[in-house]
Amino acid sequence: MQKTITKFGLLAVLITTLCGAQQTSIQKEGSNWVSVVTGSLAGARNLHIQVEIGTVHVQGGSTQGINYVIRNRSYEGSEDRARKQFEGYKISANVRGDTAFITGEWENGSPHKFNSEITVNVPRDLELVKIATDGGEISTTGISGRLEAESGGGMVHLDDIGGAISAETGGGSIDVGNVGSDLTVRTGGGPIHIGSAKGKVVAESGGGNLVLVSGSAGASLQTGGGSIHVNKCTGEVKAETGGGSIDLGDIGGSVSMETGGGTLKVSSASGPIKGETGSGNIELWGVPSAHVETGSGAITAKFIRGGNGTSNSELETGVGDITVYLVSNVNLTIRASIEAANGQQIVSDFPEIKIASEGGGQWGPKLVSAEGSLNGGGPVLKVRTTMGNIYFRRAQ
């Protein structure tokens, strides 16, 4: 019996030691009441934070242990009601094995007039930080390990994170600075902005603009609606939007892009392009091959000489002009047609491309076609518009 009591006593002391000294104070700020809980945890390689409400900030630095400050704010007017709310929201912090846990949960359902904010300072070399909040913003900076973050809804801000990241929010914007590994972010609705990612990027939004400034290992970007902009990315890029424009800069790989309606633009790509828009213009500047299609809109494409194994290309529009710029050393076999030309024509700077027309009679639409081989021929370039002009120009 005495041994049992001693064991429990030692355990209590140990837990208290591991928990650190947790202090609580209550003060009035303006018309609100604020409860501040501070504490520290030592001897952990991982951190799990799970709260039912509130914002979570995790900042990595040179600190040795884990130090936290929890500010609970009650919007009730009277101190008594505020204290009841503070007492109803249970906060616990402890270490089990090599993982530190900070939890916050309601005993009897969450009131409306209450908010919470947790700020945790951690050593930079933590291996894993895992954050879950039922509703609130998440902000994490300056850790070299992995991050898993989940919010029922609220903005997510991540920066200077070395390991792989998985972050998800039910709604709200996601803002990522520089990350050193794979990045997977999802939001139910809201814009996503990513600065620089050294690993593969997967970004999805129910609706909102997506921006990727620099990627190093490919990207998959998807949004229910809104524009997608990629400044620079090495590797394959896949971009899809329910409606909005897609604007890609320098891509060191292949491209696949699709939009329900909006313009598609690629500044340069080292791999083949595949693109589709319900309606909108398409601009491709400096690509080896492309399969692109628009229901309505102009297509402008500049082809450069590709390596061995360059595939065939196809440019198609229902209504609109197609302008193709060809560099002098590109080897292609051209097949172009205007299905129903009514005054429209095919114009070419290249004498090798022969133009012919047939049908139509005196008043009806004609089929205008053109064929030819440049520099001995090569992959086939099919250019087709139902109604519009087609131009083959020499690239500068």
Q: Which residues bind another protein (CB under 8 A)?
A: 75, 111-115, 134-135, 152-154, 169-172, 188-191, 205-209, 223-227, 241-245, 259-263, 277-281, 296-298, 319-320
Pairing of β 322-326 and β 366-374: unpaired
CB of 135 to another protein, least distance (A): 4
CB of 93 to another protein, least distance (A): 24
CB of 128 to another protein, least distance (A): 26
CB of 219 to another protein, least distance (A): 19
Q: Output 306 or 388, the one with its CB closest to another protein.
A: 388
Q: Encoding tokens for residue 199?
A: 């690993």
CB of 318 to another protein, least distance (A): 10
User: Which residues contact residue 189 at a Cβ distance below 8 angstroms, ignoring those fewer than 6 apart?
Assistant: 171, 172, 205, 206, 207, 208, 224
Positive or negative: CA dihedral 26, 29, 31, 36: negative
Rounded CA-CA distance 122/56 in Å is: 13
Q: Output 30 or 364, the one with its CB closest to another protein.
A: 30
Q: Output 283 or 339, the one with its CB closest to another protein.
A: 283
Q: Output 306 or 320, the one with its CB closest to another protein.
A: 320
The Cα-based distances of 190 to 89, 138, 184, 214, 299 in angstroms read 30, 15, 15, 20, 31
Q: Output 333 or 344, the one with its CB closest to another protein.
A: 344
CB of 124 to another protein, least distance (A): 31
Please name the amino acid found at residue 351: P
The Cα-based distances of 296 to 277, 320, 342, 357 in angstroms read 8, 6, 17, 23
Q: Output 155 or 219, the one with its CB closest to another protein.
A: 155
The length of the chain in residues reads: 396
Rounded CA-CA distance 153/136 in Å is: 6
